[in-house]
Amino acid sequence: RVAPQFREKLSDLIKGLLSAKMISPSTSPWASPIVIIIKKNGVDIRLCIDYRVVNGLTQLMVYPMPLINDLLEDLDKVLWYCSLDMASGFWVVSMTERARLISAFITPFGLFEWNRMPFGLKNAPQIYQRLIDNALYGYLKISSDDSNDSEHRDVFLTGEAETEQKPSVLGRRSYIDDILVTADSWDTLCNEVDRLLEACDKWNLSISVVKSFWGLRKVDYLGHQVSMDGLEAHPKDLQALADLPFPSTLRAMQSFLGSLNYYSRFIEDFAIYASVLYELRESDFHEITRKKPKESVVEKA
C-alpha cells in the first residue's frame, strides 16, 4: 500500500524508468512489494523493493568479495589518491529473461519487471563486483562478435582470455562501486586514471564526477580517511557508533559487535573485550538491562 500523497510522485518515477527502458510491464508470477523512502530533501522519493522472499529462495553466488583489510593495506606508502564512485551502479548490468521475471514488483499502477539489475537482489553485489574486477584487471575480453554492441554478452560465459600485455594494475582497488587509484607521482596517477577511464569506456561503465575526488593527498575510502600519514576512522562513522544504543538482546549484541569490528584496528584490546561479550547468553541480558550498561559490561568482563 502506498500513501496517497506519494502516488503521483511514484507514477512519475515509474514513467521515467519506463522511458529509460530500465523496467517493463510484466506478467510474471512473482510480485515483490515496494517500499517508498523519502529523500533527505523531504520532497523527492526513492523506490525500494522488498526482495526478502526472493532472496530467501535464491542460492548465493560463489564469487569472493574483496577483503576490506586487503584493500586498505599499504595505502600510506603512496602520495596521490583518486577516489572514484561509479554512476548508475548495478543498472549497467543487463538482466536475463529469467532474472527479469523474478525481479517483478507490484505497484498501485501495475506489475513491472527490471531490464537492468536493481539494488536489493541477493547476488547483485557479487555480479557487479565480478564485472568491475574484470574491467579493472582485464582477465577476459569482449569477443569479436560483440565488439560493436553496447550490451555485451557475458564474457564469463564465453571465457575468452585477454592476452594483450598491459602495464601493472596494482594501483587499482575496488569494492563494488567504490574505486581507489593510487600512485607515487602525479604523472603516474594521471596515466593510471587515463587507463582506467579507457577501461570504463570499453565496458560501458560511467563514473559520477560529482561524487569522485581527483588527485588528492587525503581521501575517504570505505569508511576511512586515507593519506600518507596512515588510516583514520571517519569522524562521521565514529559518531554513528557512539550514538548506538546499548544492546538489550543477544542478536542486538552481535550486530553491535559487528559494527565495532569494522574499526577494531583502532580499538585497543578489542578482541579481549569482544570475546567476553560474544559469550553472553540471552538470559544474561535480563540482568544487564536492569543495570547501567557500562557497569554491566565491566562486570561481565
DSSP secondary structure letter of residue 62: -
Nearest to 125 by CA among 210, 58, 30, 45: 58
CATH superfamily for 4-230 is HIV Type 1 Reverse Transcriptase, subunit A, domain 1 (3.10.10.10)
Quick one: pLDDT at residue 299? 40
Bridge partners (DSSP) of residue 224 are 221, 233
- Whether pLDDT at 274 is above 90: no
The cell numbers describing 77, all together, are 606508502
Mean pLDDT of 225-237: 87
Q: In whole angstroms, what is the distance from residue 161 CA to residue 75 CA?
A: 30
| Upper half-sphere CA count for residue 213 (Cβ side, 13 Å) | 14
Mean pLDDT of 78-107: 90
Bridge partners (DSSP) of residue 114 are 23
Mean pLDDT of 66-83: 90
Quick one: pLDDT at residue 56? 95
pLDDT digits (tens, 9 = 90+) for 246-257: 777 888 888 888
The cell numbers describing 75, all together, are 595505502
- Whether pLDDT at 293 is above 60: no
Q: Which run of H or E residues covers position 162?
A: none
Q: Where are the domains of the chain?
A: 4-230, 234-300
Whole-model pTM over 0.75: yes
Q: In whole angstroms, what is the distance from residue 1 CA to residue 274 CA?
A: 42
**Contact assessment for residue 70 and residue 170, using Cβ atoms and an 8 Å cutoff:** no
